[in-house]
Amino acid sequence: MAGRVKAGAYKPPEPRVSRMNLAELTQRYDDQLRTGDFADIDASANGLQVGPDDPESVTVERVAFAVDAAEQTIEEAVEWGADALVVHHGLSWGGIERVTGRDYRRIAPLIENDVALYVSHLPLDSHPELGNAAGIADLLGLESREPFGRMGPEHIGQQGHGEFTREELGELLADELDTGGQGVRGFDFGPDEIEHVAIVTGSGADWLDEAVDVGADALVTGEGKQKVYHEAREAELNVFLAGHYATETFGVRSLESLAEDWGMVTTFIDAPTGL
C-alpha cells in the first residue's frame, strides 16, 4: 500500500523449519519487534517472561497465541499441548513480589507443563507492519500512513487518510472487530465527513490532544475514560471506542502468521472480554 510507514519495516522472512529451540524463537521475535528499544518506556517485562535458564535446550513445535495471559488462555494452551504461549498482555508489570493467589494459578500451569510464555506489549503496539494499530489501519484501508501516539522516543499508533462518513467508519469497525457483542461506542463531536484518522489501540484516550494537533477528524481507540467525553466535545473531534480486546487481536495474529511462516504449528485462543 502506498504511503506505509517505513521506520522499523518488516524484515525479510526467516528460514522455514518444522521446529526450533526456544532461544531462536524468542530471538526472532525480539529482532522483529525491537524489544530492547522499549525497555525504559514499557512497564511490561517484554520478551521471554516464563522459561528455563537454558532456552536453547527447549524444542518448540507448537505455539499458542492469545491477547491476554490469563487462567483461561493458559489452561487452553496447556490442553492444546503448546510448547510456548505468545501474548500481548503478560504477567509481569514491573515485578512480581510473591507468586501466590492469582499469580500462582497462572504461572504454575506454565511451569508444570513446560509451556514458555513470550510477551510483547508496546513493541507490538508500535510495529508499523505487525502491530495492533497497523492492523486497524489495514482494516480501514488508510493511506499516507505515519506514526502516531508518541511515548518517549517511540510511537505506539498510526495515522492515515481515507474517505468515510462518520456512520460508515463506525459501522466498519463494528462489523469487523470482535467486540464481544458490545458494539462500538462513538462520540460524534467532529465532522461527518472523515478523511484523517488517528489510531492508538487499547487504552488510547490519552492521545486525544495529539490527534487534535495532527489535524485528525477521528480518534480510534479501544476504551475511554470519563474525561474523554468532554475533551472530544470541546475539541470537536470524533472518537470511536471499539473495545480494548477487539482492537488488540491484530498484533498477536500477525505474530502467529510469522510462526506459521517459520513452520510452527499454531493456534489462536480467542477470549473476548467485551471491554
Instruction: For residue range 14-36, list pLDDT tens digits in order.
Output: 666 678 999 999 999 999 999 99
* CA-to-CA separations, 197 to 7, 28, 31, 131, 251, in angstroms, rounded: 20, 32, 29, 16, 19
146 is in an annotated binding site: no
Residues in the chain: 275
Strand pairing category for 218-221 and 238-241: parallel
Whether the predicted pLDDT of 143 surpasses 60: yes
Specify the pLDDT at position 95: 81
Q: Which value, to the nearest 10 degrees, does the dihedral of the CA atoms of residues 242, 243, 246, 248 take?
A: 100
Domain 20-123+249-268 belongs to what architecture?
3-Layer(aba) Sandwich (3.40)
Report the C-alpha gap between 163 and 76 in whole angstroms.
Answer: 41
Local confidence band at 223 (pLDDT 50, 70, 90 cut-offs): very high
Report the C-alpha gap between 173 and 139 in whole angstroms.
Answer: 8
The answer to whether 32 touches 258, Cβ cutoff 8 Å, is: yes
Whether the predicted pLDDT of 7 surpasses 50: no
Specify the pLDDT at position 11: 57
Grid cell 469487523 is found at: 176
Specify the pLDDT at position 181: 83
pLDDT digit string (tens) for 102-138? 999 999 999 999 999 999 999 999 999 999 999 999 9
Report the C-alpha gap between 134 and 156 in whole angstroms.
Answer: 10
Strand pairing category for 143-151 and 154-165: antiparallel
Report the C-alpha gap between 186 and 226 in whole angstroms.
Answer: 14
Q: Is the dihedral of CA 37, 41, 42, 43 positive or negative?
A: positive
E strand segments, the chain: 20-21, 47-50, 59-60, 62-68, 84-89, 116-119, 143-151, 154-165, 185-188, 193-199, 218-221, 238-241, 265-268
Whether the predicted pLDDT of 156 surpasses 50: yes
pLDDT digit string (tens) for 56-112? 999 999 999 999 999 999 999 999 999 999 999 999 998 888 999 999 999 999 999
Q: Establish whether domains 20-123+249-268 and 125-247 are of one fold.
A: yes
125 is in an annotated binding site: yes
Is 125-247 in CATH node 3.40.1390.30? yes
The answer to whether 226 touches 202, Cβ cutoff 8 Å, is: no
Local confidence band at 183 (pLDDT 50, 70, 90 cut-offs): confident
The answer to whether 263 touches 16, Cβ cutoff 8 Å, is: yes
Q: How do the domains of the chain map onto residue ranges?
A: 20-123+249-268, 125-247
| Cell numbers representing residue 259 in the block | 510462526
Report the C-alpha gap between 170 and 175 in whole angstroms.
Answer: 9
Q: Strand, coil or helix: what is 128?
A: coil
196 is in an annotated binding site: no
